[in-house]
Structure 1
C-alpha cells in the first residue's frame, strides 16, 4: 500500500481518513457472534470513530502494554505471549506513526483496529490481550492518558506566552499609561503592570490545569465493562506502569466518568476567554483612535479593497476562536447530562469536542506568544495624551487623606476641582493655581505637585500589587524567578 503523508497533531498521532473498501469481505467484530455480521454501509460510517479517535493510538498501545504486563505478572498469560503482544503492538504503532497502517472503519474505533491488527499479526496470543478488560475501561484510560499529555504540553505553551509578556514588561515596564474602567480613563499605571495582569490570568490557568491533572491521573483500567472482573487483576500495578498514582474505587463510575474531560475543556474555555479579553484590548489599542501599540506586519492582514488598511485579523480570530471552545464545553456537558449509568455510546462523541477544544486553545496560546513577542508600544503617543482624563484624581484624594481629610470629603473635594478644571478649560489638576486649590482646602500645600500628573503618580503607589514602579519591580523579579525554568 502506498504511504500517505503524515499530518501530526499537537497531541496524538497522524490523522488519516479511514476508507471503506467497496468490495472487501466483512471484517470480524468482537461482538458479531451475538449480532449478525451484515450491517448497512451507512450504519458503518455513522458509528465509526476512527476518523478522530486514532489520535489515541499511542495511548491505546501504552495502556495495552501495561495491561498485558499485568496479565503476565498474574500468570494469566505467559511471558512469551507478553513479548509477542508487546512486539506486535509496537510494530502497529510504528506503522500508524509512519502513515502505513491501513485503517478500516468497519473496525469502528482505534481500540478494535489495533486489536484486529495484532491478532492478524501474532495470532492466538493477540486474542488474550483483552482478558479482564472492556473497551469501556480501555477508552476511559486512553482518554485520561491523552488528557494528561495535553495538559503537560499546554503548560509549556502557556509558560512561553508568560515569558513573552514578562519580556515585554521589562522592555516598557516603567512607562506610564492609562488604566480603564468602563472603557473610561481611570488611573495611571505602568505598561508593565497591565502586561503582568495577563501573566496572572495565565498562572491561574496553569493552576487549574494542575488541579485537573491531579483528578485525571486516576486509572479506570480493570473496571471492565461495568462491574469489574472475576479474574485476579493487579490494577495498582498496571496503573504504576503508566505512571498513574491512583486507581478508581467504583467500576460503575470508572467507565462512565468524563468529569476530567469536562474539567479540562472548562480550563481550555477559560484560557480562551482570557486570550479573547487580551485580544480585544489589543485590537482597541492598535486602532487609530488609540494607537497605543503596533503589531508586527507578520501578524496583520490587509483589505481586498482599501489599500491603506492594516487589520489585526489574528487578534480577531483569537477572539472568535474562543467561542468555539465555549461551544465545545456546552456540547460536552449537554451530552453527559442525560446519560444513566454506566457507559453509553454517546460518550464516543466526547473526543470530538475535547480534541477540538485543545487544538484551538493550544494554537491560540502559541499564536499569542508570537504576537506579543513582535509588538511595540507607542510610548510617545501614549505620553502625549497621558494627562487627559484626570488620571491623577484618586492620587490627589489620597494625598488629602494623608493630610487628615476623611476620604469621602477628599473625594468630594477633588471632584469639585475636576469640575472647576473643566469649567476653566484646563486639561489637568496640576494646571490649577495652588492658591485656588487652597480656597477649597487649606491643607493643600505645594507638595501636591509632587504627586500630580500621571508620570509622577505611578511613583506614589505603595500597596502590594499596585500599578506603580516600585511594585512592578517586585513583581517582575518574582516572575523572572518563577519562569526561569
Structure 2
C-alpha cells in the first residue's frame, strides 16, 4: 500500500483538513514536471556529494534510483497517488520507498521553492524549442506557397478596402516575417532565462549546496541566479514567456482571419483541402475553415494567461508565495494550445489550392492602379498634391462612366486634365504596378525572390537554435 509522504508538518498538532488538502494539492497537469524534477534531483545529488552529505557510493545509488523512477513513471509503472501533494512529494515518496533513510538525505540543502522555480524554467526552455520547431513547419509551408506564387497577382488591402496590386507571395511573406520575429523573441527570452534557481533553497541560499554554478552548468544554464530571493520570488521569465506566446497567438489569429476571407465565396482566392476543413451538421454544402476559427478563438486563452500572470505577480512581497503556483497553470495552457494549433495551421497552409486567375482579375478592382497615375504625374514634374487631386478626379470620372482606369482613351484622359496623356496607359496594368515597387522590401517579384532566400536562410539558422 502506498504510504503518505509529507515534506512539512512536524510542528503542527493536527493533520491538514480535507479541504486544505484539496486546495493545496497540485492539479494533475502539474505532474508533467516529473522529468525536470528528476533531472534537478540528480544534479542536486552530485552537489550533496561535493558537500560531503552523501558519499560517492550513496550519490551513485540515489542517481541510479532516480533514473529508474523516471523510467517507471514514463512507462506508467509508477504514478502519483491522491495523497502526493505535488511532484516533489511524489518523487521523494518513491525514493524513500526504494531506498529507505538514504532517500531522505536528498532533501538536504534545497527547498520546494527553488525546485519549483527550476522545474518550470527547465520545462519552458525545452518547450520553447518545441514550439519554435512547430512554428518553423508553418514557416516552411508559407515559404513553399510563396515560392510557387512569386508572380501571382492579387489585390492588396488597407482598411479592408482594395489598395494596390501586390504579389500573393508578398502577402504570405508578411505573415512569415511576423513569425520570424516571434521566433527571435523565444531565443531572446531563452538567453535571459539561462540562470539557475537551484541553490537558492527557500530564499536565503543554502548552507549546504554551495556550488550552484556546477549544477547550473549540468542543467544547461549559463550561471546561477545572482540573488537567492530573486531566484525563488521572481516569475518575470514566465510572464515574458507568456507574452511571447500571446504575441504569437495574435499573429496566428491574423493569418487565420485572412484565410477566412481568402477561402470565402466572396473572395474565392483559395480552396481549403478537405483534410483541413469541416462541414455543417445541417447544411450539406458547407466547407468551414474551422482550424482558422479555433486558432483565432484560442488566442484569447493565451492573452488571458499573460494577464493572469501579471495580476498574480502584482503586489507580491518579494520572496516565494503560493500565488506563484499560478505560473504553471498559465504556462501549460499556452504550451498545450500552441502544440495543437501550430501543426494544424501548417497543414492547412501547405495544402491550400490557390486560384491565381481569380486573384489577378480582382487585383485591379476598386481602382487599385490609381496610385500609378499619381506617381506617373509626379515623375513628369507635377507636384504630388496636384497629382493626387487630378487622379481623384480621374477615378470619379471612371465611376461616372462605369469604366476602369485601363479602359480610358487618350481623349478621355485629356478631358480630365491635359497633363494626362496616352503615355500613362502602359503603367496601368497590375504587372507594371508590382514591377515598379522594386525597392528593398517591395512587392516586385525580383525583390520577393530575394526576400524568400533571406527568410529561408534565417529559418535554417533558427532551426539550428531549436534543435540545440
**Interval of TM-score (by shorter of Structure 1 and Structure 2):** over 0.9
- Counterpart in 1 of 2:207? 230
CA contact (8 A) 2:156 2:363 kept: no
Hey, which bits of structure 1, 4+ residues long, moved more than 3 A? 438-447
- Counterpart in 1 of 2:43? 66
The reply to whether residue 168 of structure 1 matches residue 138 of structure 2 is: no
Q: What secondary structure sits across from 2:229 in the alignment? A: helix
1:298-447, aligned counterparts within 5 Å? 298-426=275-403, 428-447=404-423
- Counterpart in 1 of 2:466? none
1:42-121, aligned counterparts within 5 Å? 42-49=19-26, 51-121=28-98
CA contact (8 A) 2:5 2:92 kept: no
Unaligned runs of at least 5 residues, structure 2: 464-468
The reply to whether residue 475 of structure 1 matches residue 451 of structure 2 is: yes
Structure 1, residues 202-251: CA drift from partner, whole Å, max 9, x if none?
00100111111111111011111011122361011110011100211111
Residues in 2 aligned to 1:25 and 1:409: alpha-carbon distance in whole angstroms: 86
- Counterpart in 1 of 2:163? 186
The reply to whether residue 157 of structure 1 matches residue 134 of structure 2 is: yes
Deviation at 1:439, TM superposition (A): 4.5
Q: What secondary structure sits across from 1:436 in the alignment? A: helix
Deviation at 1:40, TM superposition (A): 2.6
Deviation at 1:447, TM superposition (A): 3.2
Deviation at 1:57, TM superposition (A): 0.6
Residues in 2 aligned to 1:246 and 1:393: alpha-carbon distance in whole angstroms: 59
C-alpha RMSD over aligned residues: 1.6
CA contact (8 A) 2:51 2:208 kept: no
- Counterpart in 1 of 2:434? 458
Greater relative contact order, per chain length (Cα 8 Å cut-off, separation 6+)? 2
Residues in 2 aligned to 1:165 and 1:279: alpha-carbon distance in whole angstroms: 13
Greater displacement, 235-244 / 102-111: 102-111
CA contact (8 A) 1:252 1:341 kept: yes
1:196-345, aligned counterparts within 5 Å? 196-231=173-208, 233-345=210-322
Residues in 2 aligned to 1:269 and 1:255: alpha-carbon distance in whole angstroms: 24
Structure 1, residues 49-78: CA drift from partner, whole Å, max 9, x if none?
151211111111111111111221232321
Q: What secondary structure sits across from 1:39 in the alignment? A: coil
Unaligned runs of at least 5 residues, structure 1: 1-23
Structure 1, residues 367-426: CA drift from partner, whole Å, max 9, x if none?
110000110111122223332111111122112221122221111111111111111111
Greater displacement, 171-180 / 433-442: 433-442
Q: State how many pairs are aligned.
A: 461
Deviation at 1:272, TM superposition (A): 0.7
> Structure 1 residues 339 and 159, CA, compared in 2 at 3 Å: closer, same or farther?
same
- Counterpart in 1 of 2:101? 124
Residues in 2 aligned to 1:346 and 1:232: alpha-carbon distance in whole angstroms: 26
